[in-house]
Structure 1
Amino acid sequence: MTTTWKVGPLAEASGLTVRTLHHWDGIGLLSPSRRTAGGHREYTEDDLVRLYQVLALRRLGLSLESIAVCLDTGVDPARLVRDHLAAVEASLAALGSLQQRLAQLGDALDTGQAPSTGMLWDALRAIGGTGPEGERTLRRHLDDEQMQVLESRAAALGPAMHYLLEIEWPELYRRAERLRVDGTPPTDRRVRQLVARMDELSTLFSGGDAGIGTGVRAAWYEDPAAMSGDPAAAASADEWRALADYLDLARGSTEKTEKGARS
């Protein structure tokens, strides 16, 4: 006989509240596989596996929306542990590199010397960011202060940055591209919802600075190959720009609707 758990015991065992499990069921994040004749929730072992994944991704700092995308695109526990370990090891290595570069900057300042441009960029690269080509492209659209904000915000996200950049963000763009190719108008609610989530993620990296968000989009529009670090992206640059224009139309329609609601 298959073992199942009712919502109360499961909430107690997992350190969650019954209300939280009810909410996760309501939004489709974690729904019980079974119901009793009286309509009570019953969770199976498969549901417990998904619960583990939800909790693990949540501890990486992901939002419930991000977690849903990760699970729906197939994140298994073994990969989750490997990715988390890799992210921790990468963070430790980056911190060691950053420590060395900051020590060099500190020595230069202690002796009254102005740090060189190379030293400053080495410090910025040590906390993550695009490659040299992407960096040059970004600098055509962002000033030094905006670049520093972008780098610092990305570093502050820690392991969550991996999932946001490599899982959720690409999936959002894939969904938007499917809608564009299918001829869905950019004013469609589904497109506007995707744009809203993209802009939420953009805010995580920009700190809410609209100028940074606009600059990053312009850099991607100008040279997607350099920004992605993938030379093959140059072949699809026209498709990328068509999608970017499509998303900007959706963004504009949302802003127009919001202005109309306020007037």
Structure 2
Amino acid sequence: MTASTTWKVGPLAEASGLTVRTLHHWDTIGLLSPSRRTAGGHREYTEDDLVRLYQVLALRGLGLGLDTIAACLDAGVDPGRLVRDHLAKVEASIAALDVLRQRLRRLDDSLAAGQYPTTGMLLDALHALGGTGPEGEHTLRRHLDDDQLRVLETRAAALGPAAHYLLEIEWPELYRRADRLRTAGVPPTDPKVRRLVTRMDELSTLFTGGDAGISTGVRAAWRDDPAAMSGEPEAPADGWRELADYLDAARSDSLRPLPPSSSAEGARP
């Protein structure tokens, strides 16, 4: 690409795997704005804009939200450090997938021999996907039977690597956001809280298949031992239970329709 080359929004969206809507949204919020516009007002992105686009995508690939990404870019990031972090993330993903591959092969060998995998083998595979640690598994066993555990494990396995990001990044972040709203005194009927609850319940359905008994058991496990389930030893039980009550109150108000989200990205996982 020559120094004078510029990209319009459509070709850039296609080349980057994004949508035109996403690029327009990022322009609107000031995350990635084109440096040039044609006389007709069309957006044109320069090489410097492509560098920033890579930075945005790399940081998003590390699990950062758009607000955090904007703050990092505004403060300035070391390009070399960013590439190394991005590479480390990719290599870690490859290593995790290799562990998962080995464990799935053992499951496959067991099935090929006509033996149903033991619950321990399934939990081993689930752990490789980024599920709860041993303490969380022990807590779940107090509230779910073997068949219900197999549903969770099988559905998590079907999601593949995405299960890690859903369980370890998005779900905890949803709880943190809800707790910030709770401690700020925002009522559970507020649309912001209800949107968080809606997304939490969407994630729950992904892993439970909509089984109300499993969902109830998982929530009971969180109330029983939030430190084990969250992987945060300092998690106060009372605080988690107050948050659970807050979220349940939001669910009870969920029959009223939500107003449309004002953010083009807000409805996305």
Change (3 A) 1:231 1:168: same
Q: Which residue of 2 aligns with 1:100?
A: 106
CA contact (8 A) 1:101 1:122 kept: no
2:44 is paired with a residue whose SS is strand
- Which one-letter code corresponds to 2:243 in the other structure? L
CA displacement, residues 47-76 of structure 1 (integer Å, 9 cap, x when unaligned): 435654777899x9xxxxxx8x64444495
Q: Which residue of 1 aligns with 2:250?
A: 250
Mapped pair 1:41 → 2:40: no
- Which one-letter code corresponds to 1:179 in the other structure? L
CA displacement, residues 67-124 of structure 1 (integer Å, 9 cap, x when unaligned): 8x64444495643442233223212222213433553576584xxxxx7xxx713211
2:124 to 123, 126, 129: 126
Change (3 A) 1:197 1:103: same
Change (3 A) 1:221 1:53: farther
More helix by share: 1
Mapped pair 1:82 → 2:78: no
CA contact (8 A) 1:84 1:159 kept: no
**In 2: Cα distance, 1:57 partner to 1:211 partner:** 38
CA contact (8 A) 2:189 2:250 kept: yes
Mapped pair 1:22 → 2:21: yes
Q: Which residue of 2 aligns with 1:261?
A: none
Mapped pair 1:221 → 2:215: no
Q: Which residue of 1 aligns with 2:150?
A: 148
* Runs of 5+ consecutive residues of structure 1 not aligned to the other structure: 61-66, 110-114, 259-263
**In 2: Cα distance, 1:160 partner to 1:174 partner:** 20
**In 2: Cα distance, 1:78 partner to 1:240 partner:** 37
- Which one-letter code corresponds to 1:239 in the other structure? G
Give the alignment's Cα RMSD to 1 decimal. Answer: 3.5
Change (3 A) 1:199 1:44: farther
Alignment of 1:89-238 (within 5 A): 89-100=95-106, 103=109, 107=113, 109=115, 120-128=118-126, 129-233=131-235, 236-238=236-238
CA contact (8 A) 2:140 2:221 kept: yes
Change (3 A) 1:229 1:12: closer
CA contact (8 A) 1:153 1:206 kept: yes
CA contact (8 A) 2:143 2:218 kept: yes
1:155 is displaced (CA, Å) by 2.2
1:42 is paired with a residue whose SS is strand
TM-score (normalised: structure 2): 0.71
Identity %: 61
Using the TM superposition, name which of 94-103 and 197-206 deviates more: 94-103
Change (3 A) 1:247 1:94: same
1:232 is paired with a residue whose SS is coil
Q: Say how many residue pairs are matched.
A: 237
**In 2: Cα distance, 1:155 partner to 1:5 partner:** 40
**In 2: Cα distance, 1:120 partner to 1:88 partner:** 26
**In 1: Cα distance, 2:48 partner to 2:178 partner:** 31
**In 2: Cα distance, 1:47 partner to 1:195 partner:** 36
* Runs of 5+ consecutive residues of structure 2 not aligned to the other structure: 73-81, 258-269
CA contact (8 A) 2:223 2:241 kept: yes
TM-score (normalised: structure 1): 0.73
**In 1: Cα distance, 2:230 partner to 2:221 partner:** 11
**In 2: Cα distance, 1:73 partner to 1:202 partner:** 26
